[in-house]
Amino acid sequence: MPLCPSIVDVVFSNRDIAITNLRLLSLPNEVITMICTDDEISAKDMCAIFLLDPFVMMTQASLQALVDICKHPLYGPHVRKVQLLNHRFSANRLSMLMDESVYAIDDRDTARMRPLMREIKWLMERIEQQIDFEESGEALELMTETFETFAETGESIAIASQPPNYSRPPIGWTKIFKGHVNQRDQPQVDNILGEPDMWSAFRLMLTAAQKAKCKVSKLEAGLNCFNPGYWRGVVMDDGFSDFQAFSRPLLDDVEELSFQFEWQTERARHNQPNIRAIEHLSRFARCMPKGFKTLSVRSDTDTVMMLSDLGASLETRKVPLKKLTFEKMFLVGDWNSIIAHIARAFELEEFTIDVAYRIFKRVRTATSPIVVGRIVEWYSTACRIKDKEQMRTCLEAFIESQDEEREDKRRQELAAKQEREAARRRELAAELRDREPRRSKRLAGKKVAADQADQAE
């Protein structure tokens, strides 16, 4: 089964290392034949790199490419995860373009007007196609066709709702932006795509999996935390209420939930969208079935989480967690109490925590919902425990060792500070000692000059 052009596009033109215009179809036929008939290349190396977890977006060409990959006799069996972009083309950018157009018209600047009108027309077409594609049911049909291939083999699958990945964008990304928008201009693309809609992306995939009778064993939720709509005073419905009622019967086979938080700007780290994104974690945990065993929370930079949100995510009324992972986390609250709760409440088989910070003060006002305060590296040493019998003892020992390590570090910093202060005082004393002889010489010189003046008189 031949690959469609969109797959060729993602495999060969979306790499950061691409420095030539060479494409697969531009190669001699003999070379193409060698590649396509070599099982080692086509079925193993190529699949492991590009087709193990295809990443698609909500367009007809992209989802059709996903169907082609999963139905391919060589490539399809290697697919273990389906990733769907959780952003949609948004009207946010339209309002910005219209404002710029008004200024251009007022200035009678036709050179500025033409590209603005072209982009408005292009974006309107994308939004119209997107709405028609979803409302017609074609998106669900293609996604269902994809999951039917997994149902036939009995394989369970992981599904992921992901933000844009600018180093490895979704299939069809290059084609849809080419000639209209610089696809690597992140602020512009962020405005075009708007805020993440994690729930609708999962809804589509879970509905398709149910129709295809395909088992879903893992959910991955990727969220970036820059919300263009927020800064324009727009608060959008995140769709959780509908998703919660809809999803419960579809999640019975899910055993693992993984959250990946991403921050696209420094400004976004401690703002309101940050807090909203973190709240998704505790909300999602409330949808999880009794068989839910693994929770992973990771961040590409730093994730600020409220103690109440984390506590709600670890609430134990129905979730018998077996594996728990935290990476690069900032907590407004006491990490020790969370780890102690984990040690008491769960019978974990595996626990990992790598880099954890504590924020001691949180200030939020109506005009500035920003988390600020003293930040302390609370757990500087990574911890990974894979001993169910000794889990509680090991966690308690970890807390104690990290407390001692922080105290040692505090004493060392205090000693270093005292040494710096002592050195500063020694330098000041030496400088004062050097100044005294010079001052004495100046005074003596003045006295001699005065005596000479008196004698002259």
What pLDDT score was predicted for residue 138? 94
What pLDDT score was predicted for residue 83? 92
113 to each of 55, 99, 107, 119, how far by Cα in Å? 35, 11, 10, 10
Both tokens of 342, joined, read 């984990």
Q: For residue 54, what are the contacts with CB-CB under 8 A and spacing of at least 6?
A: 65, 66, 69, 70, 79, 82, 83, 171
How many C-beta neighbours within 10 Å does residue 284 have? 23
Where are the strands (E) in 269-402, listed by range? 294-299, 303-306, 323-332, 350-359, 375-379, 383-385
Round to whole Å and give the CA distance between 306 and 299: 15
Q: Which of 317, 319, 357 is nearest to 338 (CA)?
A: 357
Round to whole Å and give the CA distance between 29 and 35: 10
Instruction: Report DSSP state, residue 86.
Output: -
What pLDDT score was predicted for residue 445? 64
User: What length is written for the chain?
Assistant: 457
What pLDDT score was predicted for residue 136? 93
What pLDDT score was predicted for residue 12? 40
What pLDDT score was predicted for residue 13? 40
Global pTM reads 0.70
What pLDDT score was predicted for residue 175? 81
Number of DSSP helices (H) and strands (E) in the chain, helices first: 17, 11
What pLDDT score was predicted for residue 159? 92
> From the first residue on, what is the mean pLDDT of each consecutive set of 10 residues in the chain (457 residues)?
42 41 56 64 62 87 89 82 87 81 87 86 88 92 93 87 79 78 62 74 89 88 59 44 66 80 50 53 71 74 58 59 82 83 85 83 51 73 88 90 89 90 87 69 63 62
